[in-house]
A and B are shown apart, each in its own frame.
Chain A
């Protein structure tokens, strides 16, 4: 049996890819990816979906704990999450900043008109300007931002009532207690 470099290279490349994927798969994607946590929320200045002449920027996080929610009218899981956010908004649990991602104005507005608008304001991010800085991997995705404007928590996937109650709300209460 004779091995040649030419013969082995493809196998090595494949194994390297395989290992990378294996590592990727074993990591629970809903756990916080380390690099964004405890960093300031990235600078942004983007139009308001509901008033395209107005812009929203990071001054929005002024001394209040905020939930930032990435969504899109194209996102099926967001439909599932939406009633939960509506309930949070109705109960005044937390201000929610929406980020309408990879969407069109028309469709984003229509989506909100249909299911109700749980957001205090909605950033319109059609070109992934903010989403890339945030390292968003898909929608829905949510971040909890503290009073100083730092990202403190990242949650991937639709927020359910149980997740809110058991996981996010305790965290939010803790942040609100901080000076």
Chain B
């Protein structure tokens, strides 16, 4: 019964989406207020229906109703409640339903928060949203229906994979989707603006909060994925350049470029073409991200052959969305007015450079990720994938980007000169020399020293830019600066947080790439090994048992120069039903370094395999990333921008 309610709600949502994709567009064309207003109602109705459908699927999962095929395949009565719920989106069909639910949420936010949007733009944007909705709901209904029944009804489900029962994995996809789907707003607004032929500063300010919202959620999603991989996969890596990770990074890079081009469009009416294109691209790459994970186009091309209906539908969706958007662009590009000119040394010039570099970075990651498919199309010539490729292509682009990130915020709009930057650049150079020298002396790595120097330069330049805004040390009065500090718009705080976040991230990444230490050894009780100055001693192995697994808990005592630092517990679990072994790492988290231990197989006779890692400053990476996400959320609160719009 409940499954049928969900199914009916889904069908109704599909029908409403069809109407939503046509009527408001026609209304906007004929300037018919009633038809345009239909968009608002349809968006809200869709949200409610999709909510009902999603709740229905959740109830079916919680009740362990094994007459529904999806529940049988992905759940089990013995699963803890949390994982029964996360099981709803832990599979292809359910995750697609989550995707459209989030699309419904964003759609509903338009009528709720977009009251001051011009009726025509709003109607057209909602109409485009409706089209996306039609595409996805059609995909679910015709190829991936989550509510299919099963007969006869099995006694229990099959989904009890212990590896997948993890809070990190449970909440990673919703955040990622909040990011991916959020970029649909950028797409819809871009296409709507193209149809209207009005891409200007006012439009840019309307678009901005949506992009910030999507981008911030995506940042959180990517960060959560990274943290999960770090503690669960057990090899202490935080980023593997794995296709699944890369495809979530692609829309992030383009989204970052988009945020900065919106800034130029909003302030100087320039870069309209760029902004529109980035809006379309960000969403296309989000679609790629959604499908690569779910359809496995990349990880195994075979799945296309296994289920051609899905594969073809996915490709058609991608082609229609991206192709449609770009055809629109081709037809309407002449209506976009170029903004006022600017010289190379200006804020616009800097932000244009930012865009070019980010697009280049996106392209290198894209190429590295999709090379097998491309190479097969053109044969001959080989590119290596994996870390070496990205180290050689992506990292240099980022270094150049950071070099310009330092000066960009300091130059004036329209026209500035190198002369005015010279004092800052000289001071920065001195700072880099001191910091790099110091780091080299302590860490004995040229690359590490340079990289830390660059991060210090970025942090310093960001603080200088912020300091100039509050006239710190210029007026001579501290009180004046404090007053200005409070008067700063949210966007400035966003800038400070975001750019400092990048600097902190770079420090963490550098430390992890250059100074991380690891070692492995077969150890008997009482034996020890040394990693990066820490002595790891295996002190105890205790067997134990839980409800569905047996375990062996190893205790490792860590000392530094004879002083005890930590006792880490790492457990090996044996799941008999599944014949699976998992390792729970023992991690001590500290601001300046993590100690990480995994006890592997062995016995008292021969000893146990113990792996030990010392990860310097790894937490800085995630701290920086979360600061970046926070920067996005803070920037949304910018009231100054809203006031300008209404005035």
B376 in the interface (beta carbon within 8 A) = yes
Checking A14, A21, A33, A128 against B386 with a beta-carbon cut-off of 8 angstroms, the contacting residue is A128
B322 in the interface (beta carbon within 8 A) = yes
Complex interface: chain A residues within 8 A of B386 (CB)? 102, 128
On whether A110 and B388 interact (CB within 8 A), knowing A7-B331, A27-B376, the answer reads no
User: Is A24 in contact with B609, judged by CB distance below 8 angstroms?
Assistant: no
B642 in the interface (beta carbon within 8 A) = no
**Assembled-state Cα–Cα distance A132/B302 (Å):** 22
Complex interface: chain A residues within 8 A of B297 (CB)? 25
User: Is A23 in contact with B377, judged by CB distance below 8 angstroms?
Assistant: yes
Complex interface: chain A residues within 8 A of B577 (CB)? none
Q: Which residue of B lies closest to A2 (CB)?
A: B334
Chain B: minimal CB distance from A81 (Å):
13
Complex interface: chain A residues within 8 A of B520 (CB)? 105-106
**Assembled-state Cα–Cα distance A27/B304 (Å):** 11
User: Is A3 in contact with B601, judged by CB distance below 8 angstroms?
Assistant: no
* Interface Cβ pair total, 8 Å cutoff: 96
User: Is A33 in contact with B327, judged by CB distance below 8 angstroms?
Assistant: no
User: Is A24 in contact with B376, judged by CB distance below 8 angstroms?
Assistant: yes
**Assembled-state Cα–Cα distance A156/B329 (Å):** 40
Contact count band on A: 35 or more
Q: CB within 8 Å of A: which of B380-394?
A: 380, 382, 384, 386, 388
Q: What is the 8 Å Cβ interface bit string for chain B, positions 362-378, against chain A (1 contact, 0 not)?
A: 00000000101111111
User: Is A128 in contact with B388, judged by CB distance below 8 angstroms?
Assistant: yes
B109 in the interface (beta carbon within 8 A) = no
Chain B: minimal CB distance from A112 (Å):
12
Chain B: minimal CB distance from A23 (Å):
4
A92 in the interface (beta carbon within 8 A) = no
B244 in the interface (beta carbon within 8 A) = no
Complex interface: chain B residues within 8 A of A22 (CB)? 315
A91 in the interface (beta carbon within 8 A) = no
Complex interface: chain B residues within 8 A of A11 (CB)? 323, 326-327, 329-330
User: Is B301 in contact with A25, judged by CB distance below 8 angstroms?
Assistant: yes
**Assembled-state Cα–Cα distance A131/B326 (Å):** 38
Q: CB within 8 Å of B: which of A60-85?
A: 77
B450 in the interface (beta carbon within 8 A) = no
User: Is A132 in contact with B384, judged by CB distance below 8 angstroms?
Assistant: yes
Complex interface: chain B residues within 8 A of A110 (CB)? 600-601, 609
Chain A: minimal CB distance from B388 (Å):
7
User: Is B326 in contact with A14, judged by CB distance below 8 angstroms?
Assistant: yes
On whether A21 and B373 interact (CB within 8 A), knowing A128-B384, A128-B388, the answer reads yes
Q: What is the 8 Å Cβ interface bit string for chain A, positions 1-35, against chain B (1 contact, 0 not)?
A: 11110111011001100101111110111100111
Ranked 8 nearest A-B pairs via Cβ? A7-B333, A24-B373, A23-B377, A106-B520, A24-B377, A137-B372, A11-B326, A7-B330
What are some 28 contacts across the A-B interface (CB < 8 A)?
A3-B331, A3-B334, A7-B333, A8-B330, A10-B277, A10-B280, A10-B329, A11-B326, A14-B323, A20-B373, A21-B373, A21-B374, A23-B376, A23-B377, A24-B377, A25-B315, A25-B373, A27-B376, A27-B377, A29-B372, A29-B376, A30-B302, A33-B376, A34-B379, A110-B609, A127-B388, A135-B382, A157-B302
